[in-house]
Amino acid sequence: MRKIINILIVIFATAIFGSLAIIVTGILRKKDGFIWCAYRWANILINWCGIEIRKNILCRNEEFVAPVLFMSNHQSHYDIPTIYCTLPIFTMFLAKKELRKIPFLGWAMWVVGFVFIDRKKREEAFKAIEEAARQFVEGKRSIVIFPEGTRSKDGNIAQFKKGGFHLAVQAKAKIIPIGIWGTIKILPRGSWLVRPGKVAINVGEPIDASKYTRENLDALMEEVRRAIESLTEKSKKEWEEINNGVKVQP
């Protein structure tokens, strides 16, 4: 019964705050209105649905000066409200094209200027990366990227896509890695039922992408991957602790 109530909360909160964001941003032209809507939406999805977040921010507060490029593992659609409820600054997301079709949520993201990427069309994907880099540098917009490109089926971190790293090198960005564990239990891939539960998230030390070029992009990818894997493992252990020592099934 609780799962049904939770999905109704998600639907109504997304419809209400998505509509507000479209009105405030698209019609009234007040960009800050979207930020207010995004935070209220995320807090409702976390607090009203019985989600408890244990967050651990390992880098200094002064590192959170926009623009910042965040890179995280991707377990669930619930990673998005979890990240909003964790980071001390507002961020955009580099999103796959399919999200734009989600009623209210995708529409609001499109209106406010989120960059959508179609990985099946290489030329269009590079144009999207260039637009994201422009927004990052000129608009000083912080962006979250899931370098796996899709949600994990089992919690394991998949192979990284290069698109976000091209953006990082082009924009000479500061990358802050994130590791999340537990959202896959709350809203698994392929399910629409939202389960109450606990999430652990760790935010790591920044990595300077300006030291890299397109020629040694693989080295940057490897450094970021090691950082995300370490933070995810840390989050996994913390998740087990807050679930009374329950071990995660492989």
Q: Say if 157 falls within a structural domain.
A: yes
The residue range of the domain holding 79 is: 52-242
CATH number at residue 138: 3.40.1130.10
**Total count of domains within the chain:** 1
Q: Say if 248 falls within a structural domain.
A: no
What is the model's pLDDT at position 247?
Answer: 55
Q: Which two tokens stand for residue 230?
A: 């370490």
Q: Say if 43 falls within a structural domain.
A: no
CA 206 to chain CA centroid, nearest Å: 16
Bond before 103 cis per omega within 30 degrees: no
Q: Say if 8 falls within a structural domain.
A: no
pLDDT tens, the chain, 250 aa long: 788 899 899 999 999 999 999 998 877 677 778 889 999 999 999 999 999 999 999 998 888 888 899 999 999 999 999 999 999 998 988 888 888 888 888 888 888 888 888 777 777 777 877 888 787 877 788 999 999 988 999 999 999 999 889 989 988 999 999 999 999 999 999 888 999 999 999 999 999 999 999 999 999 999 999 999 999 999 999 999 998 765 555 4
What is the model's pLDDT at position 5?
Answer: 92
Q: Say if 179 falls within a structural domain.
A: yes
Q: Say if 230 falls within a structural domain.
A: yes
Task: Outline where DSSP puts E strands in 83-183.
Answer: 92-96, 115-117, 143-145, 174-181
Q: Say if 166 falls within a structural domain.
A: yes
